[in-house]
Chains A and B, each alone.
Chain A
Amino acid sequence: MANKSISHGADSRLEIESTFKDRLSYLGRLLWRDRTGVVGILIFTTVVIAAVFAEFLTPYKPLDQDLYASKMPPMWEEEGSPEHPLGTDNLGRDMMARIFYGARVSLGVSFFGAIIAAILGVVLGAVAAYVGGRWDEIIMAPVNLVLSLPYLLFVVFIASVLGSSLLNVILIFGVTNSPIFARVTRGEVLKIRESAYVESAISAGARWWRVLLFHVMPNLVGPLVTLISFQISAMIFYEAGLGFIGLSVPPTVPSWGNMLSEGRRYISSYPWLTTMPGLAIMYTSLGMNLLGDWLRDVSDPRTRRSGR
Protein backbone atom coordinates (compact mmCIF):
# COMPACT_ATOMS: atom_id res chain seq x y z
CA MET A 1 0.00 0.00 0.00
CA ALA A 2 1.86 3.02 1.31
CA ASN A 3 5.33 1.52 1.18
CA LYS A 4 5.97 2.94 -2.27
CA SER A 5 6.46 6.32 -0.62
CA ILE A 6 9.76 5.26 0.86
CA SER A 7 11.77 6.85 -1.91
CA HIS A 8 14.17 9.64 -2.54
CA GLY A 9 14.97 11.93 -5.40
CA ALA A 10 13.37 14.22 -7.86
CA ASP A 11 9.79 13.20 -8.31
CA SER A 12 8.88 12.71 -4.69
CA ARG A 13 5.88 15.02 -5.14
CA LEU A 14 4.34 12.54 -7.47
CA GLU A 15 5.04 9.80 -4.99
CA ILE A 16 3.32 11.67 -2.20
CA GLU A 17 0.29 12.19 -4.37
CA SER A 18 0.12 8.53 -5.13
CA THR A 19 0.40 7.65 -1.46
CA PHE A 20 -2.43 10.02 -0.71
CA LYS A 21 -4.50 8.30 -3.34
CA ASP A 22 -3.35 4.98 -1.97
CA ARG A 23 -4.44 5.93 1.48
CA LEU A 24 -7.75 7.15 0.20
CA SER A 25 -8.36 3.90 -1.62
CA TYR A 26 -7.18 1.97 1.42
CA LEU A 27 -9.68 3.89 3.54
CA GLY A 28 -12.28 3.28 0.87
CA ARG A 29 -11.58 -0.43 0.95
CA LEU A 30 -11.81 -0.47 4.73
CA LEU A 31 -15.17 1.33 4.60
CA TRP A 32 -16.35 -0.96 1.82
CA ARG A 33 -15.42 -4.02 3.80
CA ASP A 34 -17.41 -2.64 6.72
CA ARG A 35 -20.13 -1.18 4.53
CA THR A 36 -22.94 -2.61 6.64
CA GLY A 37 -21.49 -0.89 9.68
CA VAL A 38 -20.97 2.38 7.85
CA VAL A 39 -24.53 2.45 6.58
CA GLY A 40 -25.80 1.44 10.01
CA ILE A 41 -23.88 4.21 11.75
CA LEU A 42 -25.01 6.77 9.17
CA ILE A 43 -28.65 5.80 9.64
CA PHE A 44 -28.34 5.78 13.40
CA THR A 45 -26.64 9.19 13.38
CA THR A 46 -29.33 10.79 11.24
CA VAL A 47 -32.07 9.47 13.52
CA VAL A 48 -30.27 10.74 16.61
CA ILE A 49 -29.76 14.14 14.96
CA ALA A 50 -33.45 14.29 14.06
CA ALA A 51 -34.39 13.45 17.62
CA VAL A 52 -31.99 15.81 19.35
CA PHE A 53 -32.30 18.81 17.05
CA ALA A 54 -36.01 18.47 16.23
CA GLU A 55 -36.60 22.09 17.33
CA PHE A 56 -34.15 23.44 14.78
CA LEU A 57 -35.00 21.11 11.93
CA THR A 58 -38.67 21.97 11.67
CA PRO A 59 -40.54 25.20 12.41
CA TYR A 60 -43.61 23.29 13.61
CA LYS A 61 -44.41 21.73 16.95
CA PRO A 62 -45.69 18.16 16.89
CA LEU A 63 -48.95 19.12 18.61
CA ASP A 64 -49.67 22.37 16.71
CA GLN A 65 -52.96 21.98 14.92
CA ASP A 66 -53.79 23.89 11.76
CA LEU A 67 -57.19 22.78 10.57
CA TYR A 68 -56.93 24.91 7.42
CA ALA A 69 -53.95 22.84 6.35
CA SER A 70 -55.17 19.43 7.44
CA LYS A 71 -54.83 16.20 5.45
CA MET A 72 -52.24 17.64 3.10
CA PRO A 73 -50.35 14.96 1.15
CA PRO A 74 -46.53 14.90 1.02
CA MET A 75 -44.89 17.51 -1.18
CA TRP A 76 -44.14 15.16 -4.09
CA GLU A 77 -47.84 14.61 -4.64
CA GLU A 78 -49.96 17.06 -6.59
CA GLU A 79 -51.71 18.82 -3.74
CA GLY A 80 -48.73 18.83 -1.46
CA SER A 81 -46.62 21.87 -0.68
CA PRO A 82 -43.01 22.32 0.42
CA GLU A 83 -44.30 23.95 3.60
CA HIS A 84 -45.21 20.53 4.89
CA PRO A 85 -42.72 18.21 3.19
CA LEU A 86 -44.31 15.01 4.50
CA GLY A 87 -47.85 16.37 4.57
CA THR A 88 -50.13 16.93 7.53
CA ASP A 89 -52.42 14.66 9.48
CA ASN A 90 -56.16 14.78 10.07
CA LEU A 91 -55.78 17.66 12.56
CA GLY A 92 -53.34 19.60 10.41
CA ARG A 93 -50.27 18.66 12.43
CA ASP A 94 -47.06 18.61 10.44
CA MET A 95 -46.03 15.02 9.76
CA MET A 96 -42.31 15.75 9.61
CA ALA A 97 -42.38 17.52 12.97
CA ARG A 98 -44.28 14.59 14.46
CA ILE A 99 -41.81 12.09 13.07
CA PHE A 100 -38.80 14.06 14.32
CA TYR A 101 -40.26 14.56 17.77
CA GLY A 102 -41.54 11.00 17.64
CA ALA A 103 -37.95 9.85 17.19
CA ARG A 104 -37.28 11.26 20.66
CA VAL A 105 -39.96 9.06 22.19
CA SER A 106 -39.19 5.93 20.20
CA LEU A 107 -35.41 6.22 20.56
CA GLY A 108 -35.68 7.34 24.18
CA VAL A 109 -37.95 4.46 25.17
CA SER A 110 -35.84 1.87 23.40
CA PHE A 111 -32.50 3.31 24.48
CA PHE A 112 -33.35 3.58 28.16
CA GLY A 113 -35.28 0.31 28.01
CA ALA A 114 -32.23 -1.42 26.57
CA ILE A 115 -29.89 0.19 29.11
CA ILE A 116 -32.05 -0.85 32.05
CA ALA A 117 -32.38 -4.35 30.62
CA ALA A 118 -28.61 -4.53 30.12
CA ILE A 119 -27.76 -3.38 33.66
CA LEU A 120 -30.28 -5.71 35.29
CA GLY A 121 -29.36 -8.61 33.05
CA VAL A 122 -25.60 -8.20 33.41
CA VAL A 123 -25.84 -8.10 37.20
CA LEU A 124 -28.12 -11.15 37.28
CA GLY A 125 -26.09 -13.10 34.76
CA ALA A 126 -22.74 -12.25 36.32
CA VAL A 127 -23.92 -13.21 39.80
CA ALA A 128 -25.42 -16.46 38.48
CA ALA A 129 -22.18 -17.38 36.74
CA TYR A 130 -19.83 -16.15 39.46
CA VAL A 131 -21.56 -17.39 42.59
CA GLY A 132 -23.00 -20.44 40.87
CA GLY A 133 -24.62 -23.35 42.66
CA ARG A 134 -27.95 -22.63 44.24
CA TRP A 135 -27.91 -18.94 43.32
CA ASP A 136 -27.37 -19.88 39.71
CA GLU A 137 -30.53 -21.95 39.80
CA ILE A 138 -32.56 -19.35 41.67
CA ILE A 139 -31.63 -16.63 39.20
CA MET A 140 -31.78 -18.64 36.02
CA ALA A 141 -35.15 -20.32 36.65
CA PRO A 142 -37.23 -17.14 36.14
CA VAL A 143 -34.86 -16.06 33.38
CA ASN A 144 -35.49 -19.26 31.46
CA LEU A 145 -39.20 -19.01 32.21
CA VAL A 146 -39.49 -15.56 30.66
CA LEU A 147 -37.37 -16.58 27.68
CA SER A 148 -39.59 -19.53 26.88
CA LEU A 149 -42.85 -17.59 26.97
CA PRO A 150 -44.70 -15.87 24.13
CA TYR A 151 -43.10 -12.49 24.81
CA LEU A 152 -45.53 -10.28 22.93
CA LEU A 153 -48.58 -11.60 24.78
CA PHE A 154 -47.00 -11.03 28.17
CA VAL A 155 -45.86 -7.52 27.36
CA VAL A 156 -49.31 -6.59 26.11
CA PHE A 157 -50.78 -8.12 29.25
CA ILE A 158 -48.46 -6.24 31.61
CA ALA A 159 -48.84 -2.97 29.74
CA SER A 160 -52.61 -3.16 29.92
CA VAL A 161 -52.51 -3.93 33.64
CA LEU A 162 -50.06 -1.17 34.53
CA GLY A 163 -51.55 1.46 32.25
CA SER A 164 -49.81 3.66 29.74
CA SER A 165 -47.17 6.17 30.68
CA LEU A 166 -43.70 6.87 29.35
CA LEU A 167 -42.01 5.62 32.50
CA ASN A 168 -44.12 2.45 32.60
CA VAL A 169 -43.29 1.56 29.03
CA ILE A 170 -39.56 2.05 29.65
CA LEU A 171 -39.66 0.00 32.83
CA ILE A 172 -41.70 -2.79 31.24
CA PHE A 173 -39.24 -3.05 28.35
CA GLY A 174 -36.29 -2.84 30.71
CA VAL A 175 -37.46 -5.57 33.05
CA THR A 176 -38.92 -7.97 30.50
CA ASN A 177 -35.85 -7.82 28.27
CA SER A 178 -33.30 -8.29 31.04
CA PRO A 179 -33.45 -12.13 30.85
CA ILE A 180 -31.81 -12.23 27.43
CA PHE A 181 -28.95 -10.10 28.77
CA ALA A 182 -28.71 -12.35 31.82
CA ARG A 183 -28.44 -15.45 29.65
CA VAL A 184 -25.81 -13.98 27.35
CA THR A 185 -23.78 -12.55 30.24
CA ARG A 186 -23.88 -15.81 32.15
CA GLY A 187 -22.74 -17.79 29.13
CA GLU A 188 -19.93 -15.39 28.34
CA VAL A 189 -18.73 -15.14 31.94
CA LEU A 190 -18.65 -18.92 32.26
CA LYS A 191 -16.63 -19.11 29.08
CA ILE A 192 -14.24 -16.33 30.08
CA ARG A 193 -13.70 -17.75 33.55
CA GLU A 194 -12.33 -20.92 32.01
CA SER A 195 -9.84 -19.02 29.90
CA ALA A 196 -6.11 -19.11 30.50
CA TYR A 197 -5.66 -15.39 31.10
CA VAL A 198 -8.19 -15.36 33.92
CA GLU A 199 -6.54 -18.40 35.44
CA SER A 200 -3.14 -16.75 35.27
CA ALA A 201 -4.51 -13.52 36.73
CA ILE A 202 -5.93 -15.46 39.65
CA SER A 203 -2.75 -17.41 40.18
CA ALA A 204 -0.82 -14.13 40.06
CA GLY A 205 -2.87 -13.11 43.08
CA ALA A 206 -5.48 -10.81 41.60
CA ARG A 207 -8.53 -10.21 43.77
CA TRP A 208 -11.93 -11.38 42.46
CA TRP A 209 -13.14 -7.83 41.81
CA ARG A 210 -9.99 -7.07 39.88
CA VAL A 211 -10.50 -10.14 37.73
CA LEU A 212 -14.12 -9.18 37.17
CA LEU A 213 -13.37 -5.55 36.35
CA PHE A 214 -10.21 -5.84 34.26
CA HIS A 215 -10.40 -9.30 32.75
CA VAL A 216 -14.02 -10.38 32.50
CA MET A 217 -15.87 -7.10 31.86
CA PRO A 218 -13.78 -5.92 28.89
CA ASN A 219 -14.56 -9.19 27.13
CA LEU A 220 -18.25 -8.73 27.76
CA VAL A 221 -18.39 -5.36 26.02
CA GLY A 222 -18.49 -6.78 22.49
CA PRO A 223 -21.40 -9.19 22.87
CA LEU A 224 -23.33 -6.76 25.07
CA VAL A 225 -23.03 -3.78 22.73
CA THR A 226 -24.15 -6.04 19.89
CA LEU A 227 -27.12 -7.23 21.90
CA ILE A 228 -28.06 -3.69 22.94
CA SER A 229 -28.12 -2.59 19.34
CA PHE A 230 -30.43 -5.47 18.35
CA GLN A 231 -32.57 -4.86 21.42
CA ILE A 232 -33.02 -1.17 20.57
CA SER A 233 -34.26 -2.24 17.17
CA ALA A 234 -36.61 -4.76 18.77
CA MET A 235 -37.92 -2.27 21.31
CA ILE A 236 -38.72 0.28 18.61
CA PHE A 237 -40.94 -2.49 17.24
CA TYR A 238 -42.51 -3.26 20.59
CA GLU A 239 -43.23 0.42 21.25
CA ALA A 240 -44.82 0.76 17.84
CA GLY A 241 -46.85 -2.40 18.43
CA LEU A 242 -48.06 -1.29 21.84
CA GLY A 243 -48.89 2.16 20.46
CA PHE A 244 -50.72 0.47 17.63
CA ILE A 245 -53.23 -1.12 20.02
CA GLY A 246 -53.26 1.94 22.27
CA LEU A 247 -51.13 0.58 25.11
CA SER A 248 -47.94 2.58 24.70
CA VAL A 249 -47.34 6.16 25.86
CA PRO A 250 -50.46 8.36 26.25
CA PRO A 251 -52.07 9.28 22.91
CA THR A 252 -51.07 12.95 23.18
CA VAL A 253 -47.39 12.01 23.03
CA PRO A 254 -46.21 11.89 19.41
CA SER A 255 -44.64 8.44 19.27
CA TRP A 256 -44.37 6.47 16.04
CA GLY A 257 -46.65 3.80 17.45
CA ASN A 258 -49.32 6.33 18.33
CA MET A 259 -49.06 7.90 14.89
CA LEU A 260 -49.57 4.49 13.28
CA SER A 261 -52.58 3.71 15.39
CA GLU A 262 -54.21 7.07 14.51
CA GLY A 263 -53.21 6.93 10.88
CA ARG A 264 -54.61 3.45 10.44
CA ARG A 265 -58.15 4.80 10.63
CA TYR A 266 -57.54 6.92 7.55
CA ILE A 267 -55.47 4.41 5.63
CA SER A 268 -57.56 4.29 2.48
CA SER A 269 -58.09 8.05 2.09
CA TYR A 270 -54.86 9.49 3.59
CA PRO A 271 -52.33 6.65 3.36
CA TRP A 272 -49.31 8.84 4.21
CA LEU A 273 -50.51 9.03 7.81
CA THR A 274 -49.63 5.31 7.97
CA THR A 275 -46.76 5.00 5.53
CA MET A 276 -44.60 7.82 6.95
CA PRO A 277 -44.27 6.67 10.58
CA GLY A 278 -43.90 3.09 9.33
CA LEU A 279 -41.04 4.10 7.06
CA ALA A 280 -39.44 5.92 10.00
CA ILE A 281 -39.61 2.75 12.08
CA MET A 282 -38.28 0.65 9.24
CA TYR A 283 -35.41 3.07 8.55
CA THR A 284 -34.33 3.19 12.19
CA SER A 285 -34.69 -0.52 12.71
CA LEU A 286 -32.76 -1.27 9.52
CA GLY A 287 -29.95 0.93 10.76
CA MET A 288 -29.84 -0.72 14.17
CA ASN A 289 -29.87 -4.19 12.61
CA LEU A 290 -27.04 -3.34 10.23
CA LEU A 291 -25.12 -1.82 13.10
CA GLY A 292 -25.75 -4.92 15.21
CA ASP A 293 -24.63 -7.27 12.44
CA TRP A 294 -21.46 -5.28 12.01
CA LEU A 295 -20.76 -5.06 15.73
CA ARG A 296 -21.17 -8.82 15.99
CA ASP A 297 -18.61 -9.34 13.26
CA VAL A 298 -16.18 -6.80 14.65
CA SER A 299 -16.39 -7.91 18.25
CA ASP A 300 -15.88 -11.53 17.28
CA PRO A 301 -13.20 -11.68 14.57
CA ARG A 302 -13.69 -15.42 14.24
CA THR A 303 -17.04 -14.93 12.51
CA ARG A 304 -15.58 -12.25 10.33
CA ARG A 305 -14.07 -14.42 7.65
CA SER A 306 -16.97 -16.76 7.12
CA GLY A 307 -20.00 -15.74 5.18
CA ARG A 308 -18.42 -12.87 3.36
Chain B
Amino acid sequence: MLKYSFRKVGQSLLLAMGVLILAFAMVRMTGDPASLMMSRNASAEEREAFREVMGFNRPVLVQFGDWITHVFMGDFGDSLHFREPALPLVLQRLPATIRLAATGLAFAILIGIPLGLIAGFRANSLVDFFGRLIALLGQSIPNFWLGLILILIFAQRLGWFPVFGADKPESVVLPAFVLSLPVMGELLRLTRSAALEVRNEDFVRTAFSKGLHRYAIYIQHVLPNVAISLVSVIGVEFGYMLGGSIYIETVFAWPGMGQLVGQALGWRDFPLVQTIVVFTSLVVLGLNLLTDLIYALIDPRIRHGK
Protein backbone atom coordinates (compact mmCIF):
# COMPACT_ATOMS: atom_id res chain seq x y z
CA MET B 1 0.00 0.00 0.00
CA LEU B 2 2.81 2.37 0.91
CA LYS B 3 4.63 1.75 -2.34
CA TYR B 4 1.45 2.19 -4.30
CA SER B 5 0.65 5.43 -2.48
CA PHE B 6 4.11 6.82 -3.10
CA ARG B 7 3.86 6.07 -6.78
CA LYS B 8 0.44 7.71 -7.03
CA VAL B 9 1.56 10.80 -5.09
CA GLY B 10 4.61 11.09 -7.32
CA GLN B 11 2.49 10.87 -10.44
CA SER B 12 0.16 13.54 -9.10
CA LEU B 13 3.05 15.87 -8.34
CA LEU B 14 4.30 15.47 -11.90
CA LEU B 15 0.82 16.23 -13.22
CA ALA B 16 0.65 19.30 -10.95
CA MET B 17 3.92 20.51 -12.43
CA GLY B 18 2.43 19.95 -15.88
CA VAL B 19 -0.57 22.08 -14.92
CA LEU B 20 1.69 24.94 -13.91
CA ILE B 21 3.69 24.75 -17.13
CA LEU B 22 0.54 24.58 -19.23
CA ALA B 23 -1.15 27.49 -17.48
CA PHE B 24 2.00 29.60 -17.76
CA ALA B 25 2.45 28.79 -21.43
CA MET B 26 -1.16 29.49 -22.31
CA VAL B 27 -1.05 33.17 -21.36
CA ARG B 28 2.07 33.53 -23.53
CA MET B 29 0.72 31.48 -26.43
CA THR B 30 0.03 34.54 -28.58
CA GLY B 31 3.52 35.90 -27.97
CA ASP B 32 2.48 39.16 -26.38
CA PRO B 33 0.62 38.87 -23.09
CA ALA B 34 0.53 42.66 -22.72
CA SER B 35 -1.70 43.23 -25.74
CA LEU B 36 -3.83 40.33 -24.55
CA MET B 37 -4.56 41.97 -21.23
CA MET B 38 -4.77 45.61 -22.30
CA SER B 39 -7.47 47.38 -24.22
CA ARG B 40 -6.95 47.83 -27.94
CA ASN B 41 -6.45 51.59 -27.76
CA ALA B 42 -3.67 51.57 -25.20
CA SER B 43 -0.68 53.60 -26.40
CA ALA B 44 2.76 52.13 -27.06
CA GLU B 45 4.16 53.81 -23.93
CA GLU B 46 1.38 52.39 -21.79
CA ARG B 47 2.07 48.94 -23.15
CA GLU B 48 5.76 49.29 -22.44
CA ALA B 49 5.05 50.44 -18.90
CA PHE B 50 2.67 47.52 -18.39
CA ARG B 51 5.29 45.05 -19.62
CA GLU B 52 7.75 46.60 -17.20
CA VAL B 53 5.37 46.26 -14.24
CA MET B 54 4.32 42.72 -15.11
CA GLY B 55 7.86 41.65 -15.93
CA PHE B 56 6.94 40.50 -19.44
CA ASN B 57 10.13 41.99 -20.91
CA ARG B 58 12.34 39.52 -19.07
CA PRO B 59 13.42 36.20 -20.56
CA VAL B 60 10.60 33.66 -20.49
CA LEU B 61 12.49 31.15 -18.35
CA VAL B 62 13.20 33.82 -15.74
CA GLN B 63 9.53 34.77 -15.74
CA PHE B 64 8.57 31.13 -15.33
CA GLY B 65 11.00 30.54 -12.47
CA ASP B 66 9.79 33.67 -10.77
CA TRP B 67 6.13 32.71 -11.18
CA ILE B 68 6.69 29.16 -9.96
CA THR B 69 8.51 30.25 -6.82
CA HIS B 70 5.73 32.70 -6.06
CA VAL B 71 3.09 30.05 -6.65
CA PHE B 72 4.83 27.75 -4.20
CA MET B 73 4.61 30.52 -1.64
CA GLY B 74 0.90 30.85 -2.29
CA ASP B 75 1.18 34.04 -4.36
CA PHE B 76 -0.54 33.59 -7.71
CA GLY B 77 -0.12 37.21 -8.76
CA ASP B 78 -2.52 40.14 -8.58
CA SER B 79 -5.86 40.43 -10.25
CA LEU B 80 -5.79 43.26 -12.80
CA HIS B 81 -9.39 44.20 -12.16
CA PHE B 82 -9.42 44.20 -8.36
CA ARG B 83 -5.77 45.19 -7.99
CA GLU B 84 -5.29 42.76 -5.13
CA PRO B 85 -3.89 39.22 -4.78
CA ALA B 86 -5.88 36.78 -6.89
CA LEU B 87 -5.78 33.69 -4.67
CA PRO B 88 -7.80 35.15 -1.76
CA LEU B 89 -10.40 36.34 -4.28
CA VAL B 90 -10.71 32.79 -5.56
CA LEU B 91 -10.79 31.25 -2.10
CA GLN B 92 -13.63 33.60 -1.16
CA ARG B 93 -15.68 32.10 -3.97
CA LEU B 94 -14.76 28.49 -3.19
CA PRO B 95 -17.39 27.75 -0.50
CA ALA B 96 -20.27 28.67 -2.82
CA THR B 97 -18.95 26.43 -5.59
CA ILE B 98 -18.39 23.56 -3.16
CA ARG B 99 -21.91 23.97 -1.80
CA LEU B 100 -23.31 23.84 -5.33
CA ALA B 101 -21.23 20.83 -6.36
CA ALA B 102 -21.90 18.94 -3.12
CA THR B 103 -25.65 19.47 -3.39
CA GLY B 104 -25.51 18.39 -7.04
CA LEU B 105 -23.54 15.30 -6.13
CA ALA B 106 -26.06 14.48 -3.40
CA PHE B 107 -28.89 14.72 -5.97
CA ALA B 108 -26.98 12.53 -8.38
CA ILE B 109 -26.24 9.86 -5.76
CA LEU B 110 -29.67 9.86 -4.12
CA ILE B 111 -31.53 9.60 -7.41
CA GLY B 112 -29.04 7.89 -9.71
CA ILE B 113 -27.95 4.93 -7.58
CA PRO B 114 -31.39 3.71 -6.38
CA LEU B 115 -32.83 4.08 -9.88
CA GLY B 116 -29.83 2.26 -11.30
CA LEU B 117 -30.24 -0.62 -8.84
CA ILE B 118 -33.90 -1.06 -9.64
CA ALA B 119 -33.26 -0.68 -13.37
CA GLY B 120 -30.57 -3.34 -13.23
CA PHE B 121 -32.78 -5.84 -11.46
CA ARG B 122 -35.74 -5.20 -13.66
CA ALA B 123 -34.29 -4.66 -17.11
CA ASN B 124 -36.84 -3.34 -19.60
CA SER B 125 -39.28 -2.32 -16.89
CA LEU B 126 -40.80 1.15 -16.65
CA VAL B 127 -38.14 2.23 -14.17
CA ASP B 128 -35.45 0.99 -16.52
CA PHE B 129 -36.95 2.94 -19.40
CA PHE B 130 -37.27 6.05 -17.25
CA GLY B 131 -33.69 5.67 -16.03
CA ARG B 132 -32.31 5.32 -19.53
CA LEU B 133 -34.29 8.38 -20.55
CA ILE B 134 -32.64 10.37 -17.75
CA ALA B 135 -29.21 9.12 -18.75
CA LEU B 136 -29.80 9.99 -22.39
CA LEU B 137 -31.22 13.44 -21.63
CA GLY B 138 -28.38 14.12 -19.21
CA GLN B 139 -26.03 13.58 -22.13
CA SER B 140 -28.09 15.47 -24.69
CA ILE B 141 -29.31 18.65 -23.02
CA PRO B 142 -26.82 21.53 -22.76
CA ASN B 143 -26.86 22.28 -19.04
CA PHE B 144 -26.85 26.06 -19.29
CA TRP B 145 -29.83 25.92 -21.62
CA LEU B 146 -31.67 23.61 -19.26
CA GLY B 147 -30.87 26.13 -16.54
CA LEU B 148 -32.47 28.93 -18.53
CA ILE B 149 -35.55 26.84 -19.25
CA LEU B 150 -35.93 25.83 -15.60
CA ILE B 151 -35.61 29.47 -14.55
CA LEU B 152 -38.29 30.36 -17.06
CA ILE B 153 -40.67 27.67 -15.79
CA PHE B 154 -40.02 27.23 -12.08
CA ALA B 155 -38.75 30.64 -11.11
CA GLN B 156 -40.53 33.10 -13.38
CA ARG B 157 -43.82 31.41 -14.27
CA LEU B 158 -44.43 29.32 -11.14
CA GLY B 159 -42.37 31.30 -8.67
CA TRP B 160 -41.30 28.23 -6.68
CA PHE B 161 -37.62 29.14 -6.61
CA PRO B 162 -35.65 32.39 -6.71
CA VAL B 163 -34.58 33.43 -10.21
CA PHE B 164 -30.93 33.85 -9.33
CA GLY B 165 -28.42 34.42 -6.55
CA ALA B 166 -27.68 32.39 -3.44
CA ASP B 167 -29.58 34.36 -0.82
CA LYS B 168 -32.16 31.77 0.14
CA PRO B 169 -31.60 28.15 1.13
CA GLU B 170 -33.78 26.93 -1.75
CA SER B 171 -31.71 28.91 -4.27
CA VAL B 172 -29.35 25.98 -4.61
CA VAL B 173 -32.00 23.55 -5.85
CA LEU B 174 -32.26 24.52 -9.52
CA PRO B 175 -28.56 25.05 -10.29
CA ALA B 176 -27.56 21.93 -8.35
CA PHE B 177 -30.15 19.85 -10.18
CA VAL B 178 -28.94 21.06 -13.56
CA LEU B 179 -25.33 20.41 -12.60
CA SER B 180 -26.19 16.94 -11.32
CA LEU B 181 -28.04 15.67 -14.39
CA PRO B 182 -25.08 14.34 -16.45
CA VAL B 183 -23.51 12.84 -13.32
CA MET B 184 -26.83 11.30 -12.34
CA GLY B 185 -27.01 9.64 -15.74
CA GLU B 186 -23.47 8.34 -15.45
CA LEU B 187 -24.03 6.91 -11.94
CA LEU B 188 -27.30 5.39 -13.05
CA ARG B 189 -25.69 3.68 -16.02
CA LEU B 190 -22.82 2.33 -13.91
CA THR B 191 -25.06 1.10 -11.11
CA ARG B 192 -27.37 -0.55 -13.60
CA SER B 193 -24.64 -2.48 -15.36
CA ALA B 194 -23.00 -3.43 -12.04
CA ALA B 195 -26.35 -4.65 -10.73
CA LEU B 196 -26.90 -6.62 -13.93
CA GLU B 197 -23.62 -8.38 -13.33
CA VAL B 198 -24.18 -9.07 -9.65
CA ARG B 199 -27.78 -10.21 -9.85
CA ASN B 200 -26.94 -13.71 -11.07
CA GLU B 201 -24.17 -14.29 -8.54
CA ASP B 202 -24.69 -17.11 -6.11
CA PHE B 203 -24.82 -14.96 -3.01
CA VAL B 204 -27.61 -12.87 -4.44
CA ARG B 205 -29.61 -15.93 -5.49
CA THR B 206 -29.06 -17.41 -2.04
CA ALA B 207 -30.32 -14.24 -0.43
CA PHE B 208 -33.41 -14.34 -2.60
CA SER B 209 -34.04 -18.00 -1.82
CA LYS B 210 -33.68 -17.26 1.89
CA GLY B 211 -36.74 -15.10 1.41
CA LEU B 212 -34.99 -11.85 2.17
CA HIS B 213 -36.92 -8.81 1.13
CA ARG B 214 -35.86 -7.39 -2.22
CA TYR B 215 -34.78 -4.04 -0.81
CA ALA B 216 -32.80 -5.72 1.96
CA ILE B 217 -30.91 -7.62 -0.74
CA TYR B 218 -30.29 -4.46 -2.73
CA ILE B 219 -28.89 -2.63 0.24
CA GLN B 220 -27.01 -5.40 2.08
CA HIS B 221 -25.69 -7.57 -0.74
CA VAL B 222 -25.69 -5.68 -3.98
CA LEU B 223 -24.82 -2.13 -2.96
CA PRO B 224 -21.46 -2.99 -1.33
CA ASN B 225 -20.37 -4.69 -4.54
CA VAL B 226 -21.56 -1.85 -6.70
CA ALA B 227 -20.02 0.71 -4.36
CA ILE B 228 -16.46 -0.22 -5.25
CA SER B 229 -16.86 0.77 -8.84
CA LEU B 230 -18.88 3.82 -7.86
CA VAL B 231 -16.26 5.21 -5.47
CA SER B 232 -13.81 5.62 -8.29
CA VAL B 233 -16.33 7.54 -10.33
CA ILE B 234 -17.78 9.77 -7.63
CA GLY B 235 -14.49 11.48 -6.80
CA VAL B 236 -13.79 12.21 -10.44
CA GLU B 237 -17.32 13.45 -11.00
CA PHE B 238 -17.08 15.78 -8.03
CA GLY B 239 -13.96 17.27 -9.58
CA TYR B 240 -15.81 17.61 -12.86
CA MET B 241 -18.62 19.48 -11.09
CA LEU B 242 -16.19 21.86 -9.39
CA GLY B 243 -14.58 22.76 -12.68
CA GLY B 244 -17.65 22.47 -14.87
CA SER B 245 -19.99 24.96 -13.27
CA ILE B 246 -18.92 28.02 -15.30
CA TYR B 247 -22.06 28.27 -17.37
CA ILE B 248 -24.46 27.23 -14.65
CA GLU B 249 -23.04 29.74 -12.20
CA THR B 250 -23.25 32.41 -14.89
CA VAL B 251 -26.86 31.57 -15.72
CA PHE B 252 -27.97 31.48 -12.09
CA ALA B 253 -25.69 34.32 -10.95
CA TRP B 254 -24.35 31.89 -8.34
CA PRO B 255 -21.51 33.66 -6.51
CA GLY B 256 -18.88 30.92 -6.98
CA MET B 257 -15.65 30.40 -8.87
CA GLY B 258 -17.41 29.66 -12.14
CA GLN B 259 -19.15 33.00 -12.15
CA LEU B 260 -15.84 34.66 -11.31
CA VAL B 261 -14.24 33.01 -14.37
CA GLY B 262 -16.97 34.39 -16.58
CA GLN B 263 -16.54 37.87 -15.13
CA ALA B 264 -12.75 37.75 -15.27
CA LEU B 265 -12.88 36.79 -18.95
CA GLY B 266 -15.06 39.82 -19.59
CA TRP B 267 -12.53 42.06 -17.82
CA ARG B 268 -9.64 40.37 -19.69
CA ASP B 269 -8.23 39.79 -16.20
CA PHE B 270 -5.96 36.91 -17.22
CA PRO B 271 -3.98 36.60 -13.98
CA LEU B 272 -7.27 35.95 -12.22
CA VAL B 273 -8.42 33.44 -14.86
CA GLN B 274 -5.05 31.74 -14.66
CA THR B 275 -5.29 31.53 -10.88
CA ILE B 276 -8.73 29.95 -11.02
CA VAL B 277 -7.64 27.45 -13.69
CA VAL B 278 -4.51 26.45 -11.76
CA PHE B 279 -6.29 26.28 -8.43
CA THR B 280 -9.20 24.24 -9.73
CA SER B 281 -6.87 21.89 -11.61
CA LEU B 282 -4.84 21.27 -8.48
CA VAL B 283 -7.99 20.58 -6.48
CA VAL B 284 -9.17 18.17 -9.18
CA LEU B 285 -5.80 16.41 -9.23
CA GLY B 286 -5.96 16.13 -5.44
CA LEU B 287 -9.44 14.64 -5.64
CA ASN B 288 -8.32 12.12 -8.26
CA LEU B 289 -5.38 11.12 -6.06
CA LEU B 290 -7.65 10.75 -3.05
CA THR B 291 -10.01 8.61 -5.10
CA ASP B 292 -7.16 6.37 -6.24
CA LEU B 293 -5.96 5.89 -2.67
CA ILE B 294 -9.43 5.17 -1.27
CA TYR B 295 -10.03 2.79 -4.14
CA ALA B 296 -6.82 0.91 -3.35
CA LEU B 297 -7.72 0.86 0.31
CA ILE B 298 -11.08 -0.82 -0.19
CA ASP B 299 -10.07 -3.06 -3.11
CA PRO B 300 -6.85 -4.96 -2.38
CA ARG B 301 -6.68 -6.20 -5.98
CA ILE B 302 -5.70 -2.72 -7.12
CA ARG B 303 -2.71 -2.18 -4.86
CA HIS B 304 -1.31 -5.67 -5.31
CA GLY B 305 -2.02 -5.94 -8.99
CA LYS B 306 0.23 -4.81 -11.81
Contacts and interface: CB of A to CB of B under 8 A. Distances in A.
Interface of A: 141-142, 144-145, 148-154, 156-158, 160-162, 233, 237, 240-241, 244-245, 247, 260, 264, 267-268, 271, 274-275, 278, 281-282, 285-286, 289-290, 306-308
A153 B280 contact: yes
B60 interface: no
Contacts of B140: 233, 282, 285-286, 289
A39 B288 CA distance: 37
User: What does DSSP make chain B's interface, helix, strand, loop or mixed?
Assistant: helix
Given A145-B18, A162-B30, A278-B148, A150 B242 contact: yes
A237 B246 CA distance: 14
Contacts of B219: none
A241 B152 contact: no
A152 B284 CA distance: 13
Most A C-beta atoms less than 10 A away, residue of B36, B140, B284:
B140
A152 B243 CA distance: 7
B302 interface: no
Contacts of B124: 308
B27 A161 contact: yes
Contacts, number: 128
Contacts of A142: 18
Contacts of A244: 144, 247, 250
A237 B144 CA distance: 10
Interface residues of B, number: 52
Nearest to A278: B145
A260 B149 CA distance: 12
Contacts of A237: 142
Contacts of A149: 19, 22, 243, 281, 284
Which has the most chain B C-beta neighbours within 10 Å: A161, A267, A290?
A: A161
- Shortest beta-carbon contacts, A-B, top 4: A150-B243, A278-B145, A286-B140, A145-B18
B184 interface: no
A306 B148 contact: no
